[in-house]
Amino acid sequence: LLSGCKSAPELTKANALALIQAKYDQTPAAGVAIAVDVRGLKDGVAANYWKKATVYPNKIWGDFSLTPEGKKVLKLSNGGDTLQWRPDHDSDPNYAVVVTSVATNHLKAQDVQDAQDEALPGADTAKGADFNEVVNLESLPAPLVKMAHNAINKLVTKRHADFAFENGAWVLRSIE
């Protein structure tokens, strides 16, 4: 009597997504880093997140004080309450300052592709799948969401997940 080795069950897109999202959900939630460009600077003034405090003689640089409303929804990377605007020239498309949302979220996994067979060290059966890692903006107020959608911000990153079949179940080994 011959007995064949048990084959691993299929790793579906839904299973892969669930394993990846579980990993993201186990990671401590974090504020969203948002690069504020010229458009975002104007949006922040319109949203009453900051107000102009100082204009420098070159008419390009400025200091903007966080308002009480701004302090409720964002933090500056320098930890202070003055956003320092220092571009090299007027309307510099590459200049930005980074703010971080006070509200915290977990990353989201989306668009998992079909898992492909892979060789992983220490695993007899392994698969890999590409997916999109998406910044979760759900708990942010609309003006911050608008700033996050400015072209200077990257909200989606292509990633690859490696899975191994261990002890009768698929497990997530790594995300690259």
Q: What is the pLDDT of residue 3?
A: 40
Q: What is the pLDDT of residue 4?
A: 41
Distance CA 26, CA 106 (A): 9
Per-residue pLDDT of the chain (176 residues; tens, 9 = 90+): 444 445 788 999 999 999 999 999 999 999 999 999 999 999 999 999 999 999 999 989 999 999 999 999 999 988 999 999 999 988 788 899 999 999 999 999 999 999 999 998 988 899 999 999 999 999 999 999 999 999 899 999 999 999 999 999 999 999 99
Q: What is the pLDDT of residue 89?
A: 87
Q: What is the pLDDT of residue 6?
A: 55
Q: State the SS3 of the chain.
A: CCCCCCCCCCCCHHHHHHHHHHHHHHCCCEEEEEEECHHHHHHHHHCCCEEEEEECCCCCCEEEEECHHHHHHEEECCCCCEEEECCCCCCCCCCCEEEEEEEEECCEEECCCCCEEECCCCCCCEEEEEEEEECCCCCCCHHHHHHHCCCCCCCEEEEEEEEEEECCEEEEEEEC
